[in-house]
Structure 1
């Protein structure tokens, strides 16, 4: 069955390394926003362009699963709502959804970020202490039910469905 693997975790957790392995093992299309943000804009956020890029990548991922192509979506997906939306969208296309959560402790995260910056600055984005703290404060760790694949939660109040929510979250998805 065609599968979309969603990488979940904080910067420095090893998501991209694992995403590369999964792409090779499963002959999957790997979509990693950082691979595009740096060449296109030279920075991680670039005035909201990351959300636009992620929306098009999500659209492309769904097109690929429709064509029976496995996909590794290397976003990080800090919120349960993002993960639930992607799970719902993938399953609505009849594909299998697999979340790959890579937890990372504070010391390991900092060491990996520093090492990546020191050894491959052209392939990574700088992260300040504030960026690291912001990520840790805003990351919603997946709970047991989410990790066990019990389906997508209901859309947040006020949303007719996950497709509408996703189009708002990632403006270029619609």
Structure 2
């Protein structure tokens, strides 16, 4: 028996996959750290890898590749009964729906945590983070902030209430196929 296998006959509680959703400066990483400690969960934060590996937040699609491998790892963890906190931001409804479907297909609990942030608070937090922990973050320009606000899809009431992922976008056989396209290293 390997360390990752449960004892024969041992009941294992279903793992929980916490998906942090929101714009930069919303407080996702702070809450993700707390949730990881409270639930003994594996915390996966893309910037924790992008910064040391590439010294950038986005490098020629490498963020998508990294997120794909992190998603693969997260699903492996929940299969083994380990809870996960995924701190990606997950700006699009399709991303969130795909992740929800993939997690629920593993018989794990899915919990989306949306942290809204107003413009002034966001800018204050981003500036404070850059001033106090520059090694944990990269500067965000005005254009970056505006881009995020323009492209973030705010979760609606049904999504927040966890009413399921629904079907994939037109042209896709299923969420697994959509996810493999969205995050090239997922498959």
TM (normalized to structure 1)?
A: 0.99
Matched, 1:108 2:87: no
Q: Hey, what's the Cα distance between the residues in 2 that align with 1:166 and 1:39?
A: 25
Partner of 2:164: 151
In the TM superposition, structure 1's runs of 4+ consecutive aligned residues that sit over 6 Å from their partners are: none
Q: Hey, what's the Cα distance between the residues in 2 that align with 1:152 and 1:67?
A: 23
Partner of 1:43: 56
Q: How does 1:1-174 map to 2 (within 5 A)?
A: 1-174=14-187
Q: CA RMSD in A?
A: 0.4
Q: Which runs of 5+ in 1 are unaligned?
A: none
Q: Give the total of aligned pairs.
A: 174
Q: Quote the offset at 1:126 in angstroms.
A: 1.0
Q: Hey, what's the Cα distance between the residues in 2 that align with 1:81 and 1:153?
A: 10
Q: Hey, what's the Cα distance between the residues in 2 that align with 1:159 and 1:47?
A: 25
TM (normalized to structure 2)?
A: 0.92
Q: Which runs of 5+ in 2 are unaligned?
A: 1-13
| Deviations, residues 57-93 of structure 1 (Å, cap 9, x unaligned) | 0000000000000000000000000000000000000
| Deviations, residues 141-165 of structure 1 (Å, cap 9, x unaligned) | 0000000000002100000000000
Q: Hey, what's the Cα distance between the residues in 2 that align with 1:79 and 1:37?
A: 20
Q: Hey, what's the Cα distance between the residues in 2 that align with 1:153 and 1:83?
A: 11
